[in-house]
Amino acid sequence: MEKNTSPVLEIRHMNISFLQYEKGFRQVELPVISDLNLTIEEGEMVAVVGSSGSGKSLLAHGVMGILPYNASMGGEMIYRGQPLTRKRIQKLRGNEIVMVPQSTSYLDPLMKVGQQICKGSRDEEKKKKLNQIFHRFSLEEKVQQQYPFELSGGMTRRIMISTALIENPRLVIADEPTPGLHLKMAKRAMEHFRQLADMGAGVLVITHDLELALETADKVVVFYAGHTIEEANASDFKEVSLLRHPYTRALWKAIPQNGFESIPGIQPYVKEMPKGCPFAPRCEKRTAECEGEIPYRKVRDGYVRCLYDA
């Protein structure tokens, strides 16, 4: 038995880049994720929050070992005390480590839903478990005999979460599980993940919806242009002064109850990444030093990638 004091998943200095051909045969390496750090403990729900195009989905694909062939990944992943190698993830994915996908396109259009959740197995145990899950999600049993195109958006979402529940996961990675759901359904979906965490699994939810993440997650990792810029406890978001990074504070202020303010500028594209701090061009506090190396350092029980902590 591995020690249960070690985190479920620890990611250190993860970077993912793509090889791309540009004009003829010149190969360019596009760094999509650079220096990503996060830790998920048992029973903990961590939300990775970032706007679209920040490379969040690749994080999930990187952990699951399903990056496309022209992508390369560096850094360290440690699952329950031991390195998560390619071989190890191939053994663990689909039972101990599960992913909840982003959209209906991840379901086979020609396979009945029930069969699909059970991966085509006719095992009676599995079927029983499936019935229980359907009951819990208030899905009718006849839905098992339907095809993905016959489902509503909310049903599809529940079916995709069911693919995780049918296993006995210790680590759940949910990639944008809520878009397209109205608030009530989205909240309920997040609660399902919360339940999984309460049952002892480590849950990583990748989302662009900070407000929703704050309601259920324990910890929030803020992602900006491929960098983790802050790791904060969900409770830190109660008070803007508890937050560490200017971008996180900007996100906080963008929430309707907190002023609904937006900051000018856009997230830089990978090819036009500024030197040093990726947020510097939009930051009010930038100085010449911001173009240098910015360490990811511990501040008040969290982490921040900024030279000036408030």
Partner 1 sequence: MSSSMGKTIGKNIIRMILLVIAVSIAAFTLMTLSPIDPLQANVGQAALGSMSQEQIAKLEEYWGVGQPPLQRYLAWAKDFFTGDMGVSLLYRQEVSKVIAVKLGNSMFLMVMAWVFSGILGFVLGAVAGMHRGRAADKIIRGYCLTVSSTPAFWIAMLLLIVFGVWLKVLPIGLSVPIGVEASGVTFLDRVRHAILPAVTLSITGISNIALHTREKMIDIMESDYVLFARARGESNWQIFKNHGFRNVIGPAMTLQFAAISEIFGGSVLVEQVFSYPGLGQAAVSAGLGSDLPLLMAITIISALFVFGGNLIANILYGVIDPRIRKGEKAV
Name the site residues for partner 1 (rule: CB under 8 A): 61, 64-66, 90-95, 98-99, 101, 103, 105-111, 115-116, 119-120, 147, 149-150, 163
Minimum CB distance to partner 1, residue 67 (Å): 10
| Residue with smaller CB distance to partner 1, 116 or 144 | 116
Which spans in 121-152 are helix H?
124-136
Write down the least CB distance from residue 63 to partner 1, Å: 10
CB 29 within 8 A of CB 51: no
Cα angle 56-166-102, degrees, rounded to a multiple of 5: 25
DSSP class of 93: B
- Smallest distance, partner 1 to C-beta of residue 72, A: 18
Q: Which is nearer to partner 1, 65 or 154 (CB)?
A: 65
Query: How far apart, in Å, are the Cα atoms of 98 and each of 61, 205, 267, 271, 309?
Result: 11, 12, 30, 32, 36
Of residues 79 and 252, the one with the C-beta less far from partner 1: 79
Give least dist CB 189 to partner 1, A.
18
* 145 in Cβ contact with 112 (< 8 Å): yes
The full DSSP string for 237-269 is GGSGGG--SHHHHHHHHHSGGGT----SS-PPP
Residue 63 or 229 having the CB closest to partner 1: 63
Question: Which uninterrupted H or E stretch holds 186?
Answer: helix 183-198
Q: Which is nearer to partner 1, 66 or 199 (CB)?
A: 66
Nearest distance in Å: CB 302, partner 1: 30
CB nearer to partner 1: pick between 115 and 233:
115
Q: Which is nearer to partner 1, 108 or 289 (CB)?
A: 108
The closest of 33, 32, 43, 34 to 9, measured between CA atoms, is: 43
Least CB distance to partner 1 at residue 10 (A): 20
Nearest to partner 1 of 201, 210 (CB atom): 201
The DSSP letter of residue 158 is: H
Maximum C-alpha span of the chain: 65
List b or e across 228-256, with b for residues whose CB sees 16 or more CB atoms inside 10 angstroms.
bbbbbebebbeeeebbbbbbbbbbbeeee
Q: How far is CA 135 from CA 17, 143, 183, 191, 275, in A?
A: 42, 11, 22, 16, 53
What is the distance between the terminal CA atoms of the chain, rounded to a whole angstrom?
Answer: 43
**Minimum gap (Å) between residue 103 Cβ and partner 1:** 7
Q: How far is the CB of 105 from partner 1 (least distance, A)?
A: 4
